[in-house]
Structure 1
Amino acid sequence: MNRRRIAHVALLVRDYDEAIAWYRDALGFVVIEDSDLGGGKRWVRIAPSTDAAFALLLARADGPAQAAQVGDQHGGRVGFFLHTDDFARDHTRLVAHGARLEQAPRHEAYGTVAVFRDLYGNRWDLIEPKAR
C-alpha cells in the first residue's frame, strides 16, 4: 500500500511572529509547531486545526531573491484554497482582520467562494463547498 502524502507547503513570510498573528487572527489557524533552529531560523507549522492532515510551513525569506517573492509565490494566481463549513463566519472574520477581498462572495456550481489576499498579498480562495 502506498502511504505518501503532502505534509507541508512552505509559505515565504517577512517575519514569523507577524505571520503567526495574522493567520491566527484572520483565519483562525493554530500553531502546530514552533521550534528554534538557531541563527534566527525557526520551524513554524500552522494549520486550520490541530488535527489537520496538511500544514503551512512558514519560512522567513532569506536574502533579496526570496524577499522579492513574499506575497507573489504563485505569480499572481490564487495559490491557496481554504475550505470552510461556515462561509459567513469565516468571511466576517477575514473582513474584521483586514483581509483584502477582491470581490463580493459568489455562488458557483461547486459552492460559495470569495477571493482574498493575505497580509503579504498572496491570493486565496475561501470556499464553502456544496454538500454532495
Structure 2
Amino acid sequence: MKVTLISIPVRDQEKALKFYTEKLGFIKKKDQPLGGGNRWLTLVSSEWKDGPELLLEPAPNHFEPCKVYQDALMEAGYPYTQFDVKNVDAEYKRLTNLDVEFSTKPTTMGTVKFAIFNDTCGNNIQLVEEL
C-alpha cells in the first residue's frame, strides 16, 4: 500500500493553482473538468515528479462540514498539512520575498525546525526541516 494522492481543501481552485505553482513551485499534473465549475486539479512537487499528487479539492464550497473544519483550523492557527523542505530558513526567506505571509517564523523544536504560512486559500501550511 502507498499514498498516491493527498487532498487539500481550497475555496478557489484557480487562485490555489496560481499560489501553489507560482509561489510554492509545484507543477500541474492533471486538470480535468468535473462539472459545475469544479476540476480534478492535481499538482506534484518539482523535486518529486513521480511522487504523491496534491489534489486542490473544492470541498469547502460544497460540503459544509469541510468548510467548518477548515475555518476552525485556520482560527486556531493549526496547519492543515505539512511539506518537508531541506532548509526552512531558506524557504522562509524565498517565500517572504514572494509576499507569502507567515504566522510562525522558523522555530526549532527538538529535532525539527518549522514555520507556518497562509496559503491564501483557507489553510495554514507548515514547512518542516528535520535537523
Common fold: TM-score over 0.5:
yes
Q: Which runs of 4+ in 1 moved over 4 A?
A: none
The structure 2 residue matched to 1:58, chosen from 53, 56, 59, is 56
**Alignment correspondent of 1:122:** 123
Q: Distance in 2 between matches of 1:81 and 1:109?
A: 17
- Taking every aligned residue pair, what percent have the same amino acid on both sides? 24
1:63-117 C-alpha deviation (Å, 9 max, x unpaired) = 3726834843747422211111232332123212333212321223223211222
Alignment RMSD: 2.6
Q: Distance in 2 between matches of 1:70 and 1:21?
A: 24
Change (3 A) 1:7 1:66: same
Q: Distance in 2 between matches of 1:85 and 1:20?
A: 23
Q: What aligned pairs does 1:7-22 form with structure 2 within 5 A after superposition? A: 7-22=4-19
Task: Output the amino acid matched with 2:19.
Answer: W
Q: Alignment length, in residue pairs?
A: 127
TM-score (norm 1): 0.77
Q: Which runs of 5+ in 1 are unaligned?
A: none
Change (3 A) 1:84 1:64: closer
Q: Which runs of 5+ in 2 are unaligned?
A: none
Say which structure is richer in helix: 2
**Alignment correspondent of 1:68:** 67
TM-score (norm 2): 0.77
Change (3 A) 1:120 1:38: closer
Q: Distance in 2 between matches of 1:8 and 1:123?
A: 19
